[in-house]
Structures are given as structure tokens and as C-alpha cells.
Amino acid sequence: MIPMAQILQEQGIFSIFLPGSEVPSWYSHQKQNNSVSFAVPPLPSQSKIRGLNLCIVYGLRNADKKCATLYPPDAEISNKTKVLKWIYNPIVYGVPQIGEDMLWLSHWRFGTDQLEVGDQVNVSASVTPDFQVKKCGVHLVYEQEDNDTLLNNEEIVQSSSIGFQTLVKKHVLEHPVSRVFDV
């Protein structure tokens, strides 16, 4: 029997954990460690950034021992230009088998003007000492501007921002509303 994949949705972030060791090639920014930094590149005309896709590859640090303390990985996105920071750790996460790696694929939605052309962005992942982050990848998500789409996305971001806690322009995602979807 093949296990069913599940998608976790918390506060406007969608996550899925799958066995794997490679960041998909279409991710525009990739590094062989736990963080990646970049300047937001020029976008096609009439486009706005609506979010980003994040891929983190991690595995067990020592294959010869079992994990004594298992805590979820966390991801941090910093817009250095606007002094904004988002930190998230999921309530459900994947634990890789010994000798294998795990992919954490997530989609983050952003409101209007939170990421713009030229902004300096840093994305990083951290894990407990039992795990090791091996690769990190980011792909910006944008869409054409039109009145209907802009209105719908602004409503989604506003309704999903209820769980954000603001501390000096720092947004920490809490876990009041979570959903797991079978796919």
C-alpha cells in the first residue's frame, strides 16, 4: 500500500514533506547549505509578487543513532530592505529514514508590496542538532495585475494574517488554525 501524501495548511502557508534530496531545478535561487540570499529581480511588466515557494532538504545528522529530540524545522524569511521578518515552524513535519533525505516544500503568500524589485531577501532554515539542512531553494511567485485577482489575494492575506504576532516588524506564525489535507 502506498502512503497517502498530506498537505499542511497553517496561516496561509502550505507545506508538504516528501522523501527526496534535490531542490527542483526550476527554483531560481539555490544554495548547498541552510540559507540563500538574493535581490528581488525585475519582474515581467504588470506583475506583482504574491509569495514564494521554499524548498529545504534535510536529513539525520548521524545515521548510526536514533533521534533523541525531535522538534520541527523552522524557516525564516527576512526582507532586509523593509526590515520585515517572518518565522514559521510547522506543527506536523516529516522525519527522514536513516540514510535518506527529506524535502520540505512550502508556499508562502505575501500581501501587496511586502516583497518588491530590488529588495534584499534572506531565507534560512534551522533544525535541532539531530538533523542537518543540506540545501535550500527559493522561487518567487508572481501574477499579472487585474482588479479581481488583486482583491481576492488581499482578502486571503488579510484573513490568514490573524495568527501573526507583530514584534518590531517581525511576524511569528502561531498555530491557532491548522489543516491537513490528503492528496
More confident residue, 161 or 121: 121
DSSP readout, 64-86? TS--S-----EEEEEETTTTEEE
Q: Across-strand partners of 132?
A: 59
Q: Quick check: pTM over 0.85?
A: no
175 vs 92 pLDDT, higher one:
92
Q: Give dist(CA 146, CA 33) in Å, integer.
A: 38
The pLDDT value recorded for residue 65 is 57
At 64, the pLDDT band (50, 70, 90 cuts) reads low
Where do runs of H (alpha helix) occur along the chain?
A: 147-160
**Euclidean distance between CA atoms 180 and 183, whole angstroms:** 10
Beta bridge partners of residue 140, listed in sequence order: 52
pLDDT digits 0-9 by tens, 143-162 = 864 444 333 334 333 333 33
- Which single residue is written with the C-alpha cell 532538504? 57
* Cβ neighbourhood burial of 94 (10 Å; 0-12, 13-18, 19+): middle
pLDDT in tens, 13-62: 999 999 999 999 999 999 998 999 999 999 877 788 889 999 999 988 87
Q: Determine the average pLDDT of the residues in 124-136.
A: 89
pLDDT of 144: 66
d(CA 43, CA 166): 29
Check residue 40 and report its DSSP letter.
P
113 CB-side CA count, 13 A = 1
How many Å apart are CA 175 and CA 9, to the nearest integer?
Answer: 10
β-pairing, 131-144 vs 164-166, is: unpaired
